[in-house]
Structure 1
Amino acid sequence: ERRCAAQWGDLARPDAFGRWIQPRTPHDETPPTLDFFLEHDTGTETLARVTRKLGGYADLAEATGTTTPVLFWLPSAAREANLRRLLDTPEVPVATAVQSPATDLEGPAGRVWLPAGLESGRRCGLAELADIWLTARPAKVDPS
Structure 2
Amino acid sequence: DLARPDAFGRWIQPRTEHDKTPRTLDFFLEHDTGTETLTRVTRKLAGYADLAEATGTTTPVLFWLPSTAREANFRRLLGVPEVPVATAVQTPATALEGPAGQVWLPAEQNSGRRYRLAELADIWLTARPSKVEPS
Given the two structures, how large is their TM-score scaled by the length of structure 2?
0.89
Distance 1:98 1:36 in 2: 17
Instruction: Specify which of 117, 120, 125 is matched with residue 126 of structure 1.
Output: 117
Higher RCO (Cα < 8 Å, 6 or more apart): 2
Instruction: Specify which of 61, 64, 72 is matched with residue 63 of structure 2.
Output: 72
Identity of aligned residues (%): 87
Distance 2:24 2:95 in 1: 22
Given the two structures, how large is their TM-score scaled by the length of structure 1?
0.83
**Amino acid across the alignment from 2:90:** Q
- Note if 1:23 corresponds to 2:7: no
Distance 1:58 1:131 in 2: 21
**Amino acid across the alignment from 2:4:** R
Structural RMSD (CA) = 1.4
**Structure 1 gap ranges (5+):** 1-9, 136-144
Higher helix share: 1
**Structure 2 gap ranges (5+):** 127-135
Aligned ranges for residues 87-106 of structure 1 at < 5 Å?
A: 87-106=78-97
Which range moves more in the overlay, 113-122 or 53-62? 113-122
Aligned to 2:130: none
Structure 1 residue 30: Cα displacement: 3.5
